[in-house]
Structure 1
Amino acid sequence: MTNTRPNAALVLFSGGQDSATCVAWALSQYARVETIGFDYGQRHSVELTVRPTVLQQLRAQSADWDRKLGQDHMIDLGLLGKISDTALTQDVAIAMQDNGLPNTFVPGRNLLFMMVAATVAYRRGLDVLVGGMCETDFSGYPDCRDDSMKALQVALNLGMATRLKIDTPLMWLDKRQTWQLAQQLGGPKLVDLIRSETHTCYLGQRGTLHDWGYGCGTCPACELRARGYRQFVQASIA
């Protein structure tokens, strides 16, 4: 792969809180940033509809971010939804499985996302992949672990003869710290953008704007986001 510019990043951007924070983080770190999203038949496909607005408003945060933020790529991975039987791809109740993992876990999802992103990065001359995987505040997904991402980085570079780097800026942050990172990156304006425009709710509900954002308020994703936001606000007041 021939890089057109060093420190050029491709961010996995779903439309949610974590990935939006990752886009902002990448814009503060790299000279050129592109984004990629995946339509895999997710139950909460509303997350895809908010992506253009979030990207537009990220551009409006500063002239520097507007200059750095490049092309957005939307990839159809409907095959993943067809071969998955999970609470994120089927209309079933969220529950724990016998193997100790929640049924919101989509096997192979992040691995496939990274593989496809690496292929796009290869073609676009981008040398860094940025993802919002996290071991601290997560649902027990094995493909969110730091070891998984490190092993995948090795496999991708061996298989493609590249020197891609996988960056996971949220890996060791809880949700309160993720809100704090947004505050550090873009101040109250960015925090309000993430609160009011991104989507995280597993059930795809976007009818009520809570203090922490839109969502059903009861699914695991909403509970994490709400708890983290309220801890962030309390810490800001203290």
Structure 2
Amino acid sequence: MPEPTRHTRALVLFSGGQDSTTCLAHALARFDHVETIGFDYGQRHRVELDARLVVLRELRAAFPAWAAKLGDDHVLDLAVLGAVSETSLTRDMAFRMEANGLPNTFVPGRNLLFLTLAAALAYRRGLSVLVTGVCETDFSGYPDCRDDTMKAMQLALSLGMDQRFLIDTPLMWIDKADTWRLARELGGEALIDLVVEHTHTCYLGDREHRHDWGWGCGQCPACELRARGWAAYHGGVST
């Protein structure tokens, strides 16, 4: 097992969406070596697995300095998560709020499992930073996106693997408009254009309808959130 260099080598949880692409740019601007990991868990919007490869290709082409830092991409098969999840992201059902106050887009344990497996891979690869796009501002109430959850996971993973991991959450306290602004600060209009054209957010996997903010159905919660953020970003106000 390679010995990790403390906090200079990172693994980005990368879905190919707006948030994780912005997090990847953040990591490439900050760390010396960056790898990516994605998960196939039977999501309805499986098109994101294709989109993420396109984003990686376009990112390498548009930003040569970042390409020199960008290492291997990894995809893990997590079909078991889809098998145990009765949610609108893993089943053909309408989006709605549940009796517990959470949207049925919440996949229980998803981020906890993602981080655990990412840490296991990072341990083997000599990577000490896990970068994830979780956020308390635009998080739809998901409990596994909270800052407290991330702090608890960082402690548990560090103790359980006897290696100090850092969970980096660059989007934790910003909204979608600020996420667009962060992308512009990191990579200028070239990165904004890349996010618009190549990333995928839509929960229904729609790549047929093109909007100013990118591709998607325009109706699902993810599309609505991205569209509102785009409008606020261009309006110069916070969502």
For normalisation by structure 1, the TM-score amounts to: 0.97
CA shift, 1:60, in A, is: 1.8
Which amino acid is 1:144 matched to? C
Which residue pairs with 1:222 in the alignment? Answer: 223
Q: C-alpha offsets along residues 75-94 of structure 1, whole Å, 9 cap, x if unaligned?
A: 00000000100000000000
Poorly superposed stretches of 4+, deviation over 2 Å = none
Alignment of 1:58-73 (within 5 A): 58-73=59-74
SS in 2 for 1:24: helix
Matched-pair contact (CA < 8 Å) for 1:146–1:171:
yes
Q: Which amino acid aligns with 1:44?
A: H
Q: How does 1:53-202 map to 2 (within 5 A)?
A: 53-202=54-203
1:12-23 pair list within 5 angstroms: 12-23=13-24
Deviation at 1:233, TM superposition (A): 1.4
CA contact (8 A) 1:132 1:169 kept: yes
Structure 2 CA distance, aligned partners of 1:7 and 1:118?
15
Q: Is the Cα contact below 8 Å between 1:5 and 1:125 reproduced in 2?
A: no
Q: Deviations over 1:40-67 (max 9, x none)?
A: 0001111111111100111123221010
- Aligned mates of 1:196, 1:225 — CA distance in 2: 13
The farther-off stretch of 15-24 and 1-10 is: 1-10
Secondary structure of residue in 2 paired with 1:229: helix
Contact 1:54 1:197 in 2 (8 A): yes
What's the offset of the Cα at 1:5?
Answer: 6.9
- What amino acid sits opposite 1:225 in the alignment? R
Matched with 1:31 is 32
State the one-letter code of the partner of 2:111: N
Aligned length in residues: 236
State how far apart, in whole Å, the 2-side matches of 1:232 and 1:102 are: 25
Contact preservation (8 Å) 2:147, 2:172: yes
Which one-letter code corresponds to 1:22 in the other structure? C
Q: Whole-Å Cα distance in 2 between the matches of residues 6 and 82 of structure 1?
A: 35
SS in 2 for 1:60: helix
Residue 4 of structure 1 and its aligned partner are, at CA, apart by 5.1
